[in-house]
């Protein structure tokens, strides 16, 4: 599975890349540090799954999710944010995200991504 990581924190991107690289069926194909450039990066990299932050410069994760889903409808978007407000999760879902995890749920996120990758093999 080809994965894009969209998060403005370099450390979060590095951690996700490292953890996802432990899975043979998952490859991180692009990292983006703002929502403005997410859709183009997803299309150009042919990412199948996008892990999307909420708080980012230029364009937030909800609007970036809308743009990704418009540009690449087959790509899955999974929100991964420090925002724990239920309204944010609902807004991500309305924008087209398949799931929402707060950053305290990294184990659950990894299990979700692993299961999704296995289901596509």
pLDDT in tens, 17-58: 999 999 889 999 999 999 999 999 999 999 999 999 999 989
Q: Tell me the average pLDDT across 72-90.
A: 93
Number of other CB atoms surrounding residue 7 within 10 Å: 26
Percent of the chain exceeding pLDDT 90 equals 90
- The CATH code belonging to domain 2-120 is 3.40.50.2300
Do residues 65 and 32 make contact, with C-beta atoms less than 8 angstroms apart?
no
Distance CA 30, CA 38 (A): 10
């Amino acid at each position: 599975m080809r994965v894009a990581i969209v998060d403005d924190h370099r450390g979060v991107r590095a951690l996700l890349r490292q953890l996802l690289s432990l899975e043979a069926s998952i490859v991180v194909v692009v990292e983006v540090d703002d929502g403005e450039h997410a859709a183009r990066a997803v299309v150009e990299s042919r990412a199948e799954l996008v892990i999307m932050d909420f708080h980012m410069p230029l364009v937030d994760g909800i609007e970036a999710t809308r743009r990704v889903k418009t540009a690449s409808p087959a790509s899955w978007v999974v929100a991964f944010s420090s925002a724990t407000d239920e309204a944010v999760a609902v807004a991500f879902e309305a924008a087209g995200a398949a799931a929402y995890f707060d950053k305290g749920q990294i184990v659950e996120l990894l299990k979700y991504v692993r299961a999704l990758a296995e289901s596509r093999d």
